[in-house]
Structure 1
Amino acid sequence: MLTASRKSFKLLSVLVSQQFCCRRSHPQTFRYKRSLQIPFFRWEGDCSRSLHTSIVWQGPIVQFKLSDIGEGIMEVTVKEWYVKEGDKVSQFDSICEVQSDKASVTITSRYDGVIRKLYYDVDATALVGKPLVDIETESSSELIQEEDVVETPAMAREEHTHQEIKGHKTQATPAVRRLAMENNIKLSEVVGTGKDGRILKEDILNFLAKQTGAILPPTPPFQEIQTPCPTPSVLAAAAAGLVGTPSTTKPPPKTIRPVFTEKDVTEPIKGFQKAMVKTMMAALKIPHFGYCDEVDLSRLVTLRSELRRVSESRGVKLSYMPFFIKAASLGLLHFPILNASVDESCQNITYKASHNIGLAMDTSQGLLVPNVKNVQLLSVFEIAQELNRLQALGAAGQLGATELSGGTFTLSNIGSIGGTYAKPVILPPEVAIGALGKIQVLPRFDASGELIPAHIMKVSWSADHRIIDGATMCRFSNLWREYLENPACMVLDLK
């Protein structure tokens, strides 16, 4: 046994000597590195057997920092961690979800390696430029030194994030990301056709080819917008003319439970709530003008019931909102001042070419207002498709800056909850907003004086009274109402 041990020790000495000689024979390759990797020799088996060695390398640890995600955001709230210390991650794997006062963003890894440290707890505030996690990488030390030993360079938002809808990731190679960046394309707007939804170069080129002046929202593949068959209760509600949110299915009513606390609780205002504080304080500096009216939707109820089956056969839920939005866009063509914005000092008016019509949406994250881009170029069915997509993103908490920014005109569907009238508040820099009440079957007189049941919806408008007078708001409302009360008239002006 003693002889075997001596042989093993001799073998170990030979290995160390050979490594040292190799270093001396190539002095130009031997240099000090901050993340020098030291081999560790492990004894395996019985001493009476020949020696077995295995080398375990400790990789360099990189501080993965929160890069600039745009929109002037300097801090975010960590909403959820998808990893824990000791977990192995690969490039594009989700690390955490953060929320700013503008949008929720999923941060993904740039490296292959192992998570060694999490710098924040859930609901803690993370700062741009500060470390999120430490990752023990599998790359060589020279590569890490070149890339990110000290600081992670600021990258475009799409290089760090993806949106997950029904388990699909938005992924792209560095070459594709560079192509998208050079053409000012957001990867979140491109539908990937590669493996696991990866965005390919062809997808970017096809997206460019489909552009018509402004960037249009993508249409999800048919299988991604399939909806479950509506329940009998949902069909009954639709037949009664109730206005629902533009979602794939009508959400179940929320159960409100009483909350009892033993002491006062104080917590900071952050996330979307903080954004609401800023927006409403700015909005209430605007002198509001209010106008209310009612719309008889009896003909639209009949038309929608006829088209609903066709739309659902194509995998899209057709609510009333696409008609309301398209009618508003047609009206804005005649009254472009309602689709404008003014500067902070109200010295200049900018008339917007695109009709990016927002929809106030009640989500688990609070009140959000995503918008449908370029409504003036979309059909009613295409608007319904986009509303389905936005509602799916809202339900998943994945509405991003792309969906939430750039609005030019807003409709708030308070009737989906049960309201009749509202006093909507303008979202600056927009200059007008409408609030839609619920549809009620009420008695009305027809042209011959007969009493008939009618599907009536109340609408409340608010406008910036610095640049919009009451007559303009009234004429726009009358035109919008005419399109909805006689939907056949919309066909004459559809493009």
Structure 2
Amino acid sequence: MAALITVRGSFSFMRRLVSLQRLQKYCNSKFQTAYLVYAPYAYSASALYQHRHFRTSYAATRPVLQFKLSDIGEGIMEVTVKEWYVKEGDRVSQFDSICEVQSDKASVTITSRYDGIIRKLYYDIDSIALVGSPLVDIETDGAQELPPEEDVMETPAVSQEEHTHQEIKGHKTQATPAVRRLAMENNIKLSEVIGTGKDGRILKEDILNFLASQTGAILPPSPFQEIQPPPPGPTAARAPIAKTKEKRAPSSMPTPITSRPVFTGKDRTEPLKGFNKAMVKTMTAALKIPHFGYNDEVDLTQLVQLRSELKEVAESRGVKLSYMPFFIKAASLGLLHFPVLNASVDEACQNITYKAAHNIGLAMDTPQGLLVPNVKNVQMLSVFDIAVELNRLQTLGSSGQLGTADLTGGTFTLSNIGSIGGTYAKPMILPPEVAIGALGKMQVLPRFNEKDEVVKAHIMNVSWSADHRIIDGATMSRFSNLWRSYLENPAVMVLDLK
């Protein structure tokens, strides 16, 4: 009987062992091509030979690429990040605007090369970004073909005053970057906002009104604080009583003690950035040039009459005609006779280069500071053509959209400081140029004519500065006399026009 029990126990153990081997073979054949994580078999008194299988899944990771700031040109090694158009987690496509940066020369909008998701922003607003350093990390689709690193798309930055277009549901929505950023921060779709600006442009007030209508909030009032007059003092209240007692002797009143106001303002220090930083470099280099100054006055009476006759003609063509096109064209005609004023020298002052093109710059006061765009090839343009180009540059300058091409390549400069005020000035030469002129304000002053009669004349003062290393006083004087003759007798200018 004991032997029978032993045989049965051995047989039962062998049957379980065979079942276990069959189950293991089945599992190996079933999942031999899959990546599985097997749990060890657990044995217990209650459940012998139990086993568990864990499901696993494979997640394909997409490459994350560093979008680097490529060389903008003009020897620029660093820029200031002025505005981000994206945030972490946003999806971008190729040629979408990522950020706006400002260099020493101009503002540039950086666009994306890739399709993907923004994973990291490396810089805060107003931070300095170095050329070649990463701007953002973009998680891209691994299947897409990545363009080469140097294929960066850079466009002139759009100012906050210009309309920027955004494709939404088949039509263009006009809004400035500031408005788009406000909408993005409040999770507002521009397609749902009705613009009240020109041509349906969405304004900041439209975003605030839409936000108030959604949340029921009351918009804060304008930050303008009206100055309230001080309340009437005790002296004013007693004025009627004082009138009735004018004949009485004045009583000795103690002098009131007034508390002095406490000034709570604090000084602040800011780093020089953008165009201000570029101005420091340019003016520091200008101080190394020995300047020769020459001043004169010009009678613009005949030019004033000529301009008044041509002003309506120019306006009929959609162009505003000022005196500046005449000044620039007269300077170009003078440079044909004195090409040394339209030249440049190397840093060691060993070689002089005579410029063929007359790219005459105009010092312009803009919201971003002093900028000097230039009119290209003035020697080939008419007075009307110069007026058209000046209108374009002034429009771009007032809206902060002057590009690098407009701000570089100048060969001679005129500063219309008189439009703000002042008669004489001491202009600083802009290296590598060798001459510059500053125009004072026009004044109506008495002058003697050919018959020794006192007449009313329109007088403007001009101040010239020249590089005395290569330009002597006689050359500067002769050029100024020729330039003045063209303006005092505009009909003579016609003989030399080409």
Indicate whether the TM-score tops 0.5: yes
Aligned to 1:42: none
Is 2:79 aligned against 1:76? yes
Q: Distance in 2 between matches of 1:109 and 1:301?
A: 52
Aligned to 1:108: 111
**Deviation at residue 442 of structure 1 after TM alignment:** 1.1
Of the three residues 434, 442, 447, the one matched with 1:444 is 447
Is 2:287 aligned against 1:284? yes
Q: Any idea what SS the aligned residue of 2:423 has?
A: coil
Is 2:134 aligned against 1:160? no
Could you tell me whether the CA contact under 8 Å between 1:68 and 1:155 is conserved in 2? no
Q: Distance in 2 between matches of 1:94 and 1:382?
A: 34
Aligned to 1:383: 386
Single out whichever of 90-99 and 360-369 deviates more from structure 2.
90-99
Is 2:313 aligned against 1:331? no
Could you tell me whether the CA contact under 8 Å between 1:109 and 1:160 is conserved in 2? no
**Deviation at residue 142 of structure 1 after TM alignment:** 4.2
> Which structure has the larger Rg over C-alpha atoms?
2
Cα 1:300/1:261, change in 2 over 3 Å: farther
Amino-acid identity (%): 77
Report the TM-score, using the length of structure 2 for normalisation. Answer: 0.66
For 1:411, give the aligned amino acid: L
**Deviation at residue 113 of structure 1 after TM alignment:** 3.4
Q: Any idea what SS the aligned residue of 1:440 has?
A: strand
Could you tell me whether the CA contact under 8 Å between 2:113 and 2:151 is conserved in 1? no
Aligned to 1:127: 130
Aligned to 1:460: 463
Matches within 5 A, 1:89-100: 89-100=92-103
> Which runs of 5 or more residues in structure 1 are unaligned?
1-16, 22-35, 40-57, 170-194, 197-259
Q: Distance in 1 between matches of 2:303 and 2:62?
A: 66
Could you tell me whether the CA contact under 8 Å between 1:432 and 1:461 is conserved in 2? yes
Could you tell me whether the CA contact under 8 Å between 1:37 and 1:59 is conserved in 2? no
Could you tell me whether the CA contact under 8 Å between 2:87 and 2:118 is conserved in 1? yes
Q: Distance in 2 between matches of 1:435 and 1:293?
A: 11
Q: Distance in 1 between matches of 2:396 and 2:362?
A: 13
Matches within 5 A, 1:219-258: none
Could you tell me whether the CA contact under 8 Å between 1:110 and 1:160 is conserved in 2? no
Matches within 5 A, 1:474-485: 474-485=477-488
**Deviation at residue 89 of structure 1 after TM alignment:** 3.0
For 2:406, give the aligned amino acid: E
Of the three residues 427, 432, 450, the one matched with 2:430 is 427
Q: Distance in 2 between matches of 1:469 and 1:115?
A: 60
**Deviation at residue 289 of structure 1 after TM alignment:** 0.5
Q: Distance in 2 between matches of 1:63 and 1:277?
A: 33
**Deviation at residue 261 of structure 1 after TM alignment:** 6.9
Q: Distance in 2 between matches of 1:366 and 1:476?
A: 30
For 1:275, give the aligned amino acid: A
Could you tell me whether the CA contact under 8 Å between 2:439 and 2:462 is conserved in 1? yes
Is 2:162 aligned against 1:141? no
Could you tell me whether the CA contact under 8 Å between 2:373 and 2:393 is conserved in 1? yes
Cα 1:93/1:167, change in 2 over 3 Å: farther
For 2:454, give the aligned amino acid: L
**Deviation at residue 374 of structure 1 after TM alignment:** 0.6
Q: Distance in 2 between matches of 1:489 and 1:366?
A: 37
**Deviation at residue 77 of structure 1 after TM alignment:** 0.5
Q: Distance in 1 between matches of 2:452 and 2:496?
A: 31
Q: Distance in 1 between matches of 2:92 and 2:458?
A: 56
Q: Any idea what SS the aligned residue of 2:144 has?
A: helix
Q: How many residue pairs get matched?
A: 349
**Deviation at residue 431 of structure 1 after TM alignment:** 0.6
Q: Deviations over 1:350-400 (max 9, x none)?
A: 110000001111111111111111100111111111111111221221222
Aligned to 1:409: 412
**Deviation at residue 133 of structure 1 after TM alignment:** 1.9
**Deviation at residue 87 of structure 1 after TM alignment:** 3.4
Cα 1:493/1:472, change in 2 over 3 Å: same
For 2:281, give the aligned amino acid: K
Q: Distance in 1 between matches of 2:93 and 2:411?
A: 40
Cα 1:92/1:315, change in 2 over 3 Å: farther
Cα 1:135/1:437, change in 2 over 3 Å: same
**Deviation at residue 168 of structure 1 after TM alignment:** 7.0
Could you tell me whether the CA contact under 8 Å between 2:107 and 2:156 is conserved in 1? no
**Deviation at residue 106 of structure 1 after TM alignment:** 1.4
**Deviation at residue 411 of structure 1 after TM alignment:** 0.3
Q: Distance in 2 between matches of 1:440 and 1:324?
A: 16
Of the three residues 35, 38, 58, the one matched with 2:59 is 38
Cα 1:112/1:143, change in 2 over 3 Å: closer
Could you tell me whether the CA contact under 8 Å between 2:100 and 2:157 is conserved in 1? no
Aligned to 1:365: 368
Q: Distance in 1 between matches of 2:115 and 2:317?
A: 41
Root-mean-square deviation (Å): 2.5
Q: Deviations over 1:263-304 (max 9, x none)?
A: 332222221112111111111111110000011111111111
Could you tell me whether the CA contact under 8 Å between 1:292 and 1:458 is conserved in 2? yes
Report the TM-score, using the length of structure 1 for normalisation. Answer: 0.66
Cα 1:291/1:91, change in 2 over 3 Å: same
Cα 1:92/1:313, change in 2 over 3 Å: farther
